[in-house]
Amino acid sequence: MLSRSDLAPHELERFQHAYENLLKWADQYRVRMQGPGPDGAPPPERERALQEEGRERERQTSGARRVDTMTAGLYDSIDPDQQPPGLYLEHIIDPDDPLVIRTFINAHTDAGPVRGRMVRRWDPERKQLVMIAAYLPAGIPTRVFHNVALDPNAPEKGVPLATFVQMVQMRKLGVDAGRLQRVHMNNIENLQTIIQLNIAAREQKVPLQQLDVSAILASHSARYVATPMIQTGHKIVGARIIGGARGTLSDILDAQESGDYKRQVEAARRLLADHGLPEDVELVMNFEIELDLAPVDSETP
């Protein structure tokens, strides 16, 4: 039987990613089995309530701008042992691998309880944060109304949920502001990112792995990472794509549409249509993204 010591770090990360995918699919199956709908689908009234709640939250936060500078005092103000308003965070750190933190995000909404998950790994030797998995289902709050102002309107706008939870995880793992040198995103599954980067590679007439930094940083996944990195005292100074294999996009579209990703699938289909690409287009997928970081107050070479 294999043990952790038998695996190289990159092999262990792949096993962890596969495990998190299994948990995500189990959560999706559990939600689908909750109601008396046909084929075990959630009750129509629950699905409608979740959709309306998501639309209302979008209306409330649609004016929130992306913050591209570090907010003084925000990271230091976060107490990793204090529960944020409206949420209950469960942090699980494996005694056999104390550098991995698995955070379950629990919220009660008008449509019922929802539960998300984010998993990160801290590599102190390489000063690297590995983003192993994230699952934020439909209906979960998109923002945390933390008590430190992001801008003059912050009490109404709040902190993005993924940014807040990742900052809490980094505090739990003992990562100081500006300490990271690299962030690694395992096995990119975001449809928009996959399509965006493949389109950019076609336009530049280069393999995906040779895309320039600006194209990578313009992708959905890189922008998703940028906010928590900025708010923890970092700036992005480099980017690269690692690995990848060709596959048919329609397989992923069908799989994600049956889960909690209907809106993401719709956005992906619009992006394909805008560029005249069919849903069964063959693209490079299953790649990873690595970003180089420097302290926000350092000089960029």
Are 103 and 201 found together in one domain?
no
Q: Are residues 109 and 249 in the same domain?
A: no
**Residue where one domain finishes, among candidates 175, 193, 226:** 175
Which residue, of 153, 175, 197, is where some domain finishes?
Answer: 175
The yes-or-no verdict on residue 17 having pLDDT over 70 is no
Residue 3 binned pLDDT confidence (cut-offs 50, 70, 90): low
The Cα–Cα gap between 171 and 165 comes to 10
Task: Report how far residue 180's alpha carbon sits from residue 166's, in angstroms, rounded to the nearest whole number.
Answer: 13
Average pLDDT over residues 130-159: 75
pLDDT digit string, tens, across residues 263-285:
788 889 999 999 999 999 999 99
* pLDDT tens-digit readout, 76-118: 989 999 999 889 999 999 888 889 999 999 998 887 899 999 9
- What per-residue confidence (pLDDT) applies to 256? 78
The tokens describing 104, both together, are 């379950």
- In this structure, the answer to whether residues 155 and 24 fall within a common structural domain is yes
CA distances to 95, 168, 169, 227 from 186, in Å? 23, 20, 17, 18
Task: Say yes or no: 127 and 156 in one domain.
Answer: yes
Q: Are strands 112-123 and 182-185 parallel, antiparallel or unpaired?
A: unpaired
Last residue of one domain, picked from the residues 123, 156, 175: 175
* Residue whose C-alpha is closest to residue 98's, from 7, 172, 163: 172
Q: How do beta strands 112-123 and 128-135 pair?
A: antiparallel
Q: Identify whether residues 187 and 155 lie together within a single domain.
A: no
111 and 256 housed in the same domain: no
Domain encompassing residue 112: 1-175
Determine which of 21-30, 74-83, 176-185, 245-254 has the lowest per-residue pLDDT on average: 21-30
Count: domains in the chain: 2
Return d(Cα 295, Cα 208) in angstroms, integer: 28
Same domain membership, residue 142 and residue 22: yes
| Chain mean pLDDT for the chain | 80
- 254 with 266, same domain? yes
Are 186 and 135 members of one domain?
Answer: no
- Going by pLDDT thresholds of 50, 70 and 90, the confidence category of residue 64 is very low
Question: Percent of the chain scored above 70 by pLDDT?
Answer: 72
Q: Do 161 and 206 lie in a common domain?
A: no
Q: Model-level pTM?
A: 0.76
